[in-house]
Amino acid sequence: MNFFIVSLIKSALVAFVLLTALAYIQWVERKVLAHIQLRVGPRRVGPHGLLQPLADVIKLLTKEDILPSHVNKFFYFLAPFIAVMFALISIAVIPFGTEIKIGSFSTPMQLTDLNIGVLFILGLSGIGVYGVALAGWASNNKYALIGGLRSSAQMISYELPMAMAIAAPLLMLNSLSFRELVDGQGGFFLGFIPRWSIFQLPFPQIVSFLIFLIAAFAETNRVPFDLPEAENELVAGFHVEYGSMKFAAFFMAEYANMVTVSCVAALLFLGGWQPLWPVEYGSGFVPTIIFGIAGLICFSHALNPARPFDRITLPVFGVVFLGIAGIFLIPIAATILLPLFWFLAKVGIILFIYIWIRGTLPRFRYDQLMNFAWTVLFPLAIINLFVTALTVALTSK
């Protein structure tokens, strides 16, 4: 019984944090894209637009939910349901840190540690294709159908290089469970180089990491591979007939897929929650330093604020950041929060790369996209897997 209650609490916590994070990733994306394009982004709703996701959620919930008369009703309702469900379930196997030990009670920071965790995520991303294909079909609209078919063909074409790019570090780490994968990336070479997959001998997995990132961009339908849902090319593709909450469901599914894929990249290639340099040399103070600098910058900007209400909000942010920096100094909290910080930092960097590339690159045409998958990425993934297998076989006793 104890196990059930603890799991229930963990699931509720993870679901709540994930859904809030999805909304705020959209805020981060709009702000970062805006600053790349030399404008400001949302800044009216709340300080620096921080309540914009709340306004968006209220708008999407209260909009009229239209059911067009020409759609296939059962599949029209089923498609966003499938897309969201399988995107959100994949978070269940992702470990966020080491164990939480409070007194005699300890629980890992993961909902379930399947010993086939990697295969579970691959399978769920394969079933998530149905949401897109059915949305295109149910809409009874030729643009939606073409968008849906193109998008699902793109997703299954890029699943192959992604699976082979995942297989390469698995050859060196010898496990399919995420917790064992991260534990296998602990320790340091020469005392200070972390033993992450991208640095690991006998063959550093840098090519696998790049192939995985490119395939992940295509799996989640993000720029530069987002032709099937481009607004100006295909009338927004497969979700053109969807409004309000169902449209929000597709966007939630896309961001949840982004988060899942970033988490998997951080776990497989960047060492999960392992720190960048050993704790003896002071890597325990990194979050304190980062949040402390952020707080001091907030305070220094509050001295001559750009806008009048910033005189109030910027010091508040400064105090919050300095408070978080202080929490990382408490030893009991640090043992729980430090691995969590490293993991979230790596995931955050990969999400920032997603948004950065969205603001920078133009999109591929559909035949260029499919050509790239089958003639460039797939042979490259095979060669990479072959070289990894060869080096592992030659150097193992």
Partner 1 sequence: MVDAILFLLFAAIAVVCAINLVVQTHPISSALSLVGVMGALALIYLQLGGEFIAAAQLIVYAGAIMVLFIFVIMLLNAGKERKLPRRLWVTYAGVPLLAGFIGVAAFVIERMLPPSPGAKFGAMTHGNPQEIGRSLFQVYLLPFEVTSVLILIAILGAVVLASKEVE
Q: Does 156 bind partner 1 (CB under 8 A)?
A: yes
Q: Per rule CB under 8 A, is residue 359 in the interface with partner 1?
A: no
The CA distance from 237 to 234, in Å, is 5
**Residue 176 near partner 1 by CB under 8 A:** yes
Q: State yes or no: residue 81 binds partner 1 (CB under 8 A).
A: no
Which of 130, 188, 199, 251 touches partner 1 by CB under 8 A?
Answer: 130
Smallest separation (angstroms) from partner 1 to the CB of 283:
34
CA 380 from chain centre, in angstroms, equals 24
What's the first-to-final CA gap in the chain, in angstroms? 46
Segment interacting with partner 1, rule: CB under 8 A, options 112-120, 237-245, 258-266, 345-353: 112-120
Q: Which is nearer to partner 1, 177 or 313 (CB)?
A: 177
Output 153 or 344, the one with its CB closest to partner 1. 153
Please identify, using beta-carbon distances, which residue of 21 and 176 lies nearer to partner 1.
176
Nearest to 169 by CA among 247, 266, 249, 86: 266
Tell me how far apart the alpha carbons of residues 200 and 38 are, in angstroms, rounded to a whole number.
40
Q: Which stretch binds partner 1 (CB under 8 A): 120-128, 298-306, 325-333, 389-397?
A: 120-128
Of 15, 65, 123, 316, which one interacts with partner 1 (CB under 8 A)? 123
How many CB atoms neighbour CB 23 within 10 A?
16
What phi and psi values does residue 115 have, to the nearest 5 degrees? -85, 5
Return left, alpha or beta for 130; rule: phi > 0 is left, psi -120 to 50 is alpha, else beta: alpha
From the list 124-132, 232-240, 354-362, 385-393, the region that binds partner 1 by CB under 8 A is 124-132
**Nearer Cβ to partner 1, position 137 or 328?**
137
Residue 211, number of CB atoms within 10 A of its CB: 25
CB 259 within 8 A of CB 155: no
Nearest approach, Cβ of residue 119 and partner 1 (Å): 4
Which of 26, 90, 141, 152 binds partner 1 (CB under 8 A)? It is 152
Please list the residues that pair with 189 across neighbouring strands: 193
Q: Do the beta carbons of residue 41 and residue 35 sit within 8 Å?
A: yes
> Considering only residues 46, 47, 108, 126, which one is a binding residue for partner 1 as defined by CB under 8 A?
126
Q: Is 149 in the site for partner 1 (CB under 8 A)?
A: yes
Closest CB 145 distance from partner 1, rounded Å: 7
**Locus of tokens 């209260």:** 62
Rounded Cα gap, residues 139 and 236, in angstroms: 13
Q: Alpha-carbon distance 47 to 44, whole Å?
A: 7
Measure the CA angle with vertex 377, ends 93 and 128; round to 5°.
Answer: 35
**Shortest CB 72 distance to partner 1, Å:** 9
Applying CB under 8 A, which residues contact partner 1?
75, 114-116, 119-120, 122-124, 126-127, 129-130, 133-134, 136-137, 145, 148-149, 152-153, 156, 159, 176
